[in-house]
Each structure stands twice: as structure tokens, then as C-alpha cells.
Amino acid sequence: MERVLFITSTRIGDAVINSGLLQYLIETRPEARFTIACGPLAAPLFKAVPRLDEIIVMAKKKRGGHWIDLWKQTVGKRWDLVVDIRCSATGYFLNAGARRILSQSKTPINKVLEAASVLGLDPAPDPVLFVSEERRAEAAGILDNAQPWLAVCPSASAPYKVWPGDRFAALIDRMIAEDGPMAGAKVAIFGGPGDEAAAAPIREVIAKDRWVDLTGQLPLDLVTACLERPRLYIGNDSGLMHIAAAAGTPTLGLMGPTDDRLYGPWGANASVVRGSTSYAEHYARFKDKRRFQPESLMLDLDVDAAYQAAIDLFERTQS
């Protein structure tokens, strides 16, 4: 029996981005058992990993104490392979037959490609979702097949990445109108705990019988199952955007102050729309202080541009 330690991200989106690499290891090492080390937010994504031994939750501590904790929990075992997407030093101090530690790319490439480089994989394996059949059955009871669903996530991890809620509401209203591309569809609103206010403008504009607000209501592995079901997903740059894209759901990412070359949603059914301000212009103005901006930096993206991008993706994925 082989033992593989897979060290992945604390963030939901990054953990999804790296998931294709884990799936590759599962498929190519059929006798291996897996231990996943990740942050607490991402941990539910791995509950249904095949041949899972353990999920080690790395809660961040001062002065890198979470890395010391990980070393203490893993140093007593002999690992056949350690794969570290976090570029840490921990893997060098474990008893391992082989180590593969990511070296971050110096040129801007999608993070899926960067993750694949740790094993020298070309083409890069697509991100995947590890979803149990029990969760899929629950999701079918939440988002039924009586009508198509338009999934949206109007929140993000920080204000600077959030498109204004009134514009989200206007876009959705046009999408599901009688003459819109998704006439007859219902709207599923997603977000995490604490994101409830971001959904308010949508609830105020869209008829009550046309939406269900799931913001902060579901565990992440059930959210993952639900995002396999919509006809279209529209959302800010967030972990849920990457989940929807990994599910194969047509996914439109609304981006501006983050670099879509690195973090754009991955896959044939994914697309990006941004305003007139390039990422380079955002960076030149704010540098690394972007994430501390208390207001949205997405105001240059208007509803017409987002609507056209949504129609283009909807039509492209009709089959």
C-alpha cells in the first residue's frame, strides 16, 4: 500500500484549481491511500476523495505555527510521495520516497497550468469535484429539474472584487425576462455565511416565486453538488466560480482587479468578462493594496457588457 500526502490550499478556489492534480494521482496510483492537508474552508471539498485516510485541517497560526503542526502530524509516517502545492519547506523534512514541491511560475499563466507543472503534466488535468451520491441526491431536491436554473454569486472574499448588487439584479432580470435567453428559469443565489446582504438587491427586484436564496444555508460539499445542476452560473471572482467551472456548468466570471490570466475560470464552458480597465491598469494604480480597498473596483463593468457576455456563453453551450 502506498501513502500519498497532498498539501493543498487554504482557499476554496485554489483548492479547486489544484484538484485535477489530485485526481491524476488517484487514477495513476490505484493502490495508494491519500492524506489531504488543507485549510478549514477548503476541507469539505475533500470529504468524498476515494481511498481517503485523513484530512488534516491546517488552521493558520502566528509565525507559521500551522506548518509546525502539520510536520508533527506527519513526521511519524513514511510517505511514498509528498506533493506540496503550497511551496512550503515541510515536505523536505518528512520521511518520503519522493517529493514534488511547486515552484511558482515567473510568468502569468493560469493556476491550473502552474499546478500541473509540479508533476510535469501536459496537458494539465482539468479541475474536478469530489461529490458523494448522497450529496447529489440532496442537491436534486433543492434545485429540481422542473425548470432551468440560473445560479449567481453576488459576493466575494473582499469588497474590491464585488460587482454592485443592483447591476447583478438588472442582469438577472434581463436574463430571465419573457424575451430573455433564460425565460422561465429560476434563480439560485449562492454565497457564504455573512454574505446575506449581497443577495438583498436581487431579492428586491426579482419576483419572489422566481428565486431561492441559499446564501449561507448549505455546507460546502452540498453547495458543490448544487453547482453541478444550473444551466448557467454568473459570479464574481470567488471560490464558487471555480467550483461551478469544475462542475462543467457554463460559468461566466466577472473580473476586474484580479488577473484573469491566473485566476480566470478554467474549462471549455467557462468565460470571463471585465470592464474597460485592464488588470495592468488596476495594478499600476493600487499595487498589492487592491485587496484593502473598501469599495468595489468593478464599477467599469456595465450591465450591457455582462449581458452580452452571458448571452454569448449561453448560446455557445446550447448543445
Residues whose CB falls within 8 Å of the CB of residue 63, separated by 6 or more in sequence, listed in order:
none
Average pLDDT value for the chain = 96
Q: Which residues on adjacent β-strands are paired with residue 56?
A: 37
Rounded Cα gap, residues 247 and 29, in angstroms: 23
**Residue 227 CA: distances (Å) to CA of 83, 94, 101, 310, 315:** 28, 37, 31, 17, 19
The residue type found at 127 is: P
Model confidence pTM above 0.75:
yes
- The pLDDT tens digits of the residues spanning 220-251 come to 999 999 999 999 999 999 999 999 999 999 99
Q: Is the pLDDT of residue 22 over 80?
A: yes
- The pLDDT tens digits of the residues spanning 262-319 come to 999 999 999 999 999 999 999 999 888 888 899 999 999 999 999 999 999 999 999 7
**Cα dihedral 177, 180, 183, 188 in deg (nearest 10):** -80
Q: Which residues on adjacent β-strands are paired with residue 55?
A: 36
Ordered by where they begin, the domains of the chain are 2-116 (3.40.50.2000), 134-316 (3.40.50.2000)
Look at residue 287 in the predicted model and tell me its pLDDT.
84
- The pLDDT tens digits of the residues spanning 145-186 come to 999 999 999 999 999 999 999 999 999 999 999 999 999 999
Look at residue 319 in the predicted model and tell me its pLDDT.
76
- The pLDDT tens digits of the residues spanning 111-149 come to 999 999 999 999 999 999 999 999 999 999 999 999 999
Look at residue 230 in the predicted model and tell me its pLDDT.
98
Residues whose CB falls within 8 Å of the CB of residue 29, separated by 6 or more in sequence, listed in order:
2, 4, 81
Look at residue 125 in the predicted model and tell me its pLDDT.
98
Look at residue 209 in the predicted model and tell me its pLDDT.
96
